[in-house]
Amino acid sequence: MAEVINMPRLSDTMEEGTVATWLKKVGDTVKEGDILAEIETDKATMEFESFYEGTLLHIGINEGETAAVDTLLAIIGEKDEDISALIDGKSDDKKDGSSNEDSENDTSEKDTSKNDNAEKKDAEKEDTKEKSEESSSGAELPEGVEVITMPRLSDTMTEGTVATWLKKEGDKVAEGDILAEIETDKATMEFESFYSGTLLKIGIGEGESAPVDEVLAVIGPKGTDVSGLLENFKKEGKSSVKKEKSSEEKPSKEDKKESAPAKVSETKNTSSAKPKTDDGQQQERIFVSPLARVLAEEKGINLRQVVGSGENGRIVKSDIENYHPAAGGGQAYTPVGTESFEEVKNSQMRKTIAKRLAESKFTAPEYYLTVELDMDHAIAARESINATPDVKISFNDMVIKACAMALRKHPQVNSQWTPEATKIAKHIHIGVAVAVDEGLLVPVLKFADQMTFSQIGAQVKELAGKARNKKITPQEMEGSTFTVSNLGMFGITEFTSIINQPNSAILSVGTIVQKPVVKNGQIVVGNTMKVTLACDHRTIDGATGAKFMQTVKQYIENPVTMFV
């Protein structure tokens, strides 16, 4: 059966969108997850993927056209399926509202139109990546209840981690409110609500990871009973029902809240053989909440000497805070120098950084070229440029401009390796490494060779700010052909970077150092800076890399040549 796809709301302020590019044409086969089109919003151009499989039967908004949110965008269904009623949906709606006819055929047409309208409403919700569907028993969701699933926030995302919940169960939620911060494989992004109501249930806790389309949260009228909804929820009409546990196995809600987090700790204690006492007898397992265990370790309290006041004798926080050792020195002693570790869960970003850098390091045969630059003229040129009102550039901006112009003269450096062929990019997109709390992001300056110093400086500042404030989009970090990494602001004089695949090279920039140098046969105080180029030998030969570095050196040591 054909599915109607409407213009989605891709940002909280979006009221209309423009189709920049269609990546599928009428008659093409579409799979779930395929990118249908690139849509320009009020904030960025974003890829829009399909949540259905079938044949693209109709395109409602052509390339370059702008339409309001919820306007008919496309229809996907079976090949050669009749979709005339869906395309002419408005006239069908009028038929539904007309006076009754005696003919049974008119009644049938009305029923068909009503079914089509219901399908359109379902499609609108699915376009926002949050589906409300039937339970396994065949019953409808409670009225007004909406189930929100883990969204796919990038084209390569298969799972996400909830970094922070900005709402808690019982809070009121308005459409456009930020529900949570979600870590993808590329960045930590804010996820907003497309519904209004009360946050009835959180399906994925902070720090937990789950696949795309896993139940994230439930929103609906205050006081609605959604118990059992997560287990019985169907995704895309296919039952994902979990086998119900017997009544004897079902823990109470209070047990779940307190005992679930403790399972990890308890499993660690019981996964191997139980610890033994001095006489060889097995010790009994200690039931303790994670917080109580941490407090006990900090205070040096032996948990076996604490009586738990929780259910089934579980030791809780208050037991540790109110613990007083028995007379006779029963308190445990923690000697100085005890070995311990703090485990910090790897974020999705950190996992992706590790994976990609390891792939680059172990697949690309790298070599390194270092030159020392005379920065006296660059310093004078920067002071002169920054003397102009409203213009401020950095040395890093000058390096980016020099690299962009040098890539135009040495296109082999602006390349990518594939097993079949070396791809030499005709365009120049320079990635700029930016350190953030979670790791490293690389915003991309598109067509950097065509930018002025001030344009480069302004865009680097804007993208770096977005990266640090978690506002940057995946599209703003894609497509680099060369990368610049600068640690000079930390006082690092020289270092080497790992190539940012699929680039063939990355330039590492150190700090400017004052030192004695020889000029015109005289020893004088000069300013120098070391830069190191890491090259993939599969695409860049040593002589090619050396010539590129000579050109970069010429531009930076004589900045006036970059204006020619």
Spatial contact of 474 and 154, defined as CB atoms under 8 Å apart: yes
Spatial contact of 169 and 218, defined as CB atoms under 8 Å apart: no
* Angle formed by the axes of helices 395-409 and 453-468, nearest 10°: 110
Which stretches of 387-447 are DSSP H helices? 395-409
With left for phi above 0 and alpha for psi between -120 and 50, is residue 299 left, alpha or beta? Answer: alpha
- Of residues 12, 93, 376, 537, which has the active-site annotation? 537
Count, in order, helices (H) and strands (E) of the chain.
13, 26
Q: Which among 342, 344, 304, 348 is positioned nearest to 323, based on CA atoms? A: 304
With tokens 């109470």, the residue in question is: 252
With tokens 């700090």, the residue in question is: 511
Residue type, 167: K
- Residue 456: both structure tokens together: 């480069």
Sheet holding 72-77, edge to edge: 3-6, 72-77, 54-59, 29-30
Spatial contact of 56 and 44, defined as CB atoms under 8 Å apart: no
Q: What are residue 220's DSSP bridge partners?
A: 198
Q: Which among 245, 254, 273 is positioned nearest to 312, based on CA atoms? A: 254
Query: Whole-angstrom Cα distance, residue 124 to residue 27?
Result: 22
Q: Which among 145, 288, 274, 287 is positioned nearest to 220, based on CA atoms? A: 145
- Residue 48: both structure tokens together: 């829009």
Query: Whole-angstrom Cα distance, residue 484 to residue 509?
Result: 8
- Residue 284: both structure tokens together: 């009994």
Instruction: Determine which helix (DSSP H) or strand (DSSP E) holds 119, and give its type and residue range.
Output: helix 104-127
Residue 541 annotated to the active site: yes
Please compute, for residue 157, the number of CA atoms within 13 A of its CA located in the half-sphere on the CB side: 27
Query: Whole-angstrom Cα distance, residue 80 to residue 502?
Result: 41
Q: How far is CA 168 from CA 132, 180, 217, 262, in A?
A: 21, 10, 10, 21
Burial pattern 190-208, b for ≥16 Cβ within 10 A else e, equals bbbbbbebbbbbbbbeeee
- 387's CB contacts (< 8 A; 6+ apart) are none
Q: Which residues are catalytic?
A: 537, 541
